[in-house]
Amino acid sequence: MSEFLQQLLNGLSLGAIYALIALGYTMVYGVLRFINFAHSDVFMVGAFIGYYLGKLVPENIVWGGLVVLLAAMLGCALLGMIIERLAYRPLRGAATLNVLITAIGVSLLLEYSGQVFFGATPRTFPAVFPSGNYSFGSLVISSNQILVIVVAALLMVALQLIVYRTKIGTAMRAVSLNPKAAQLVGVNNDVVISFTFGLGSALAGAGGILYALNYPSIDPLMGVMPGLKAFVAAVLGGIGNIPGAALGGLLLGTVETFVNGSQWSTYKDAIAFAILIIILLFRPAGLLGKFTVEKV
């Protein structure tokens, strides 16, 4: 029983990070109907911003950690907006496939310029937050795991509030529903799309820091696998749906952890992805997604 609870805890903290990254995929998809493959590399840049800043602030102090976290989110938001402005905006209105290929190009550009600027060698991420382990009976939880779950939950609530309770959130939903009609009623699409990229990238930046805190060895290709998993999580939950991405992330993290702790650990990715295929066979729009007929 205690092993089960421990694995559940491990799975939730891994899933919370997937969920944070998945939110970025799903938001951009919701508004623009395309997958921003460069998202996972923004996640990597977030971790590296934390790495360089972490050396400047004193270690093991809460405010130092918060400064690093906020700075990484801000840096990534800027990066996301710049990518959108330079790479995606000129292609607005072009075929989806063109934008998709551009996204893959931007992703590779970030990965390999990362290798040039940061070096390909894995770096040790500094312990910016004070860390400790708490045990409840045989159950052990590290402060970093708690931090991941708390920060992820807070950011998801904040996101939900922004999307449903603010003016810019209403504009985002309007653009998502019908970009032309939104423009007709006075929504500035460029600003809204730029904001969406900024917001999604900020979440990726936060994800990067939280991931690096838990797995303190970072390198320019660190975003590839978590990015792929988060993308799967977003599809699993129903792409374009914010609670769906969170649910998908948590589910994928938990399943992966349970398989990993069993005797079939060799097949962990195979089993995780097989579950995805099965769910999509029965619910093609994902767990929380609504199936809509494409308008022609």
Partner 1 sequence: MISASRPFIQLIASVLVTTTALLTSSGCNRQPDTIKLGEFASMTGKEAVFGQNVNKGTRLAIEESNVAGGVLGRTLELITEDDQSKPGESATVVKKLISRDKVVVILGEITSGRTLEAAPIAQAAKIPLISPGATNTEVTAKGNYIFRVCFIDDFQGTVMAKFARDTLKLKRVAILSSVSSAQSVGLAKYFRERFTSASTAIAAEQKYSEGDKDFRAQLTAIKAAGADGIFVPGYYAEAALICKQARDLGLTLPLLGVDGWESPDLLAIAGDAAEGCYLSTHFSPESKAPVVVAFNERYQKRWGISANALSVLGYDATMLAIDAIRRAGSTDGAKIRDALAATKDYPAVTGAITFDAHRNPTKNAVVLLVKNGKFTFVQDVAP
Contacts of residue 128, Cβ cutoff 8 Å, sequence gap at least 6: 50, 54, 57, 59, 60, 64, 65, 68, 209, 213
Rounded distance, CA 137 to CA 6, Å? 11
Taking the complex as a whole, how short is the minimal distance between the CB of residue 163 and partner 1, in angstroms? 30
Give the side-chain half-sphere CA count within 13 A for 93: 4
CA dihedral 169, 90, 36, 53 (to 10 degrees): -80
Nearer to partner 1, 11 or 179 (CB): 11
Closer residue to partner 1, CB minimum distance, 188 or 265: 265
Per-residue DSSP letter, 84: I
CB-wise, 5 or 61, nearer to partner 1? 5
Minimum Å gap between C-beta 157 and partner 1 is: 25
- Give min distance, CB of 208 to partner 1, in A: 13
84 or 219, CB closer to partner 1?
A: 219
For residue 257, the minimal CB distance to partner 1 (Å) is 4
How many angstroms separate the CA atoms of 41 and 156, rounded? Answer: 21
How far is Cα 206 from Cα 50, in angstroms, rounded to an integer? 10
Query: Closer CB to partner 1, residue 98 or residue 262?
Result: 262
**Closest separation between CB of residue 256 and partner 1, Å?**
8
Nearer to partner 1, 128 or 193 (CB): 128
Footprint of partner 1 (CB under 8 A): 2-3, 6-7, 10-11, 14, 115, 119-122, 124, 133, 135, 140, 142, 144, 211, 214-217, 219, 222, 225, 256-263, 265-266
Residue with tokens 């690096």: 212
Minimum distance of partner 1 from residue 271's CB (angstroms): 13
Q: For 83, how many CA atoms within 13 A lie in the half-sphere containing its CB?
A: 29
C-alpha dihedral sign at 75, 155, 250, 136: positive
